[in-house]
Amino acid sequence: MKRLLREETRKLLTTRLWWGMLLGALALASIGVIAQIATNGLRGNPLPPLTSAATQRSVFASAVSGDTFALIVGIIIVTAEFRHFTSRPTFLLEPRRGRVVAAKLLVATALGLAYGAACAVISVAIAVPWLSLKGVHVDWSSNGVLFVLLGTLLAVAIFAIVGVGVGVIIQSQVVAVSVALAYLLIVEPLLRVIPGVKEVGRFLPGAAAEALTGVQRQGIVQVQPWQGALLLLGWGLLFALAGRAITLSRDIP
């Protein structure tokens, strides 16, 4: 297993994929922080003042933006093998396909944690000095900011696990990434506002990630943060186990 982990790590770090996606995650997290602080107090902005606990949690929850990029990296870690036909030598060197999938899951999880940590750091680096200049004190414990940052860390890591599962199930890189983005950006947001269906929306992956960070969006009644953590982890394990089962039953492309 150590050899597999070493090889999978080398495959990832010797490409531009990981740092390109990291830059995208950092940029999106930064935009989220900047937009919320810059627009707070403007006419039409429904958020409470920056001194409120809810707004501070929302600002630092921008770090969860890294989940989309972690999801894509998780998908590409797997689908690149099928796209470039490196799956053949990979599975020939290690015929136990479950171990290969497990190694990819562990590498993706580590990368997801790194993405989550980096996004949390950039959010803190931008928000704290800016809020200080505005005379706003960040109460890390009482306002739940530390909990939000921990939640984003876990959410981003779990989305990387989901990405690996999606990649194993679909295998086509273009299709897998397109389906994942369409779901996150279009399908789930629609499901969460359609009457009669939106009550189910709080159990979906995106809503579970939001519940995990303790930040409510779109006016949905969310589950408790610990329930969001279990839900999101359940989605991650579901995709991972489904992907493993499908890999064992398919011929090597």
- Residue-wise pLDDT for 155-174, tens only, equals 899 899 889 888 888 878 89
Tokens of 145: 């900011």
Reported pTM: 0.85
- Residue-wise pLDDT for 189-224, tens only, equals 888 777 777 777 778 888 888 888 866 655 555 777
CB atoms within 10 A of CB 183: 17
The counts of H helices and E strands in the chain are 12, 0
- Residue-wise pLDDT for 28-86, tens only, equals 999 999 988 888 877 767 777 888 888 888 889 888 888 899 999 999 988 887 765 66
Tokens of 127: 């928000």
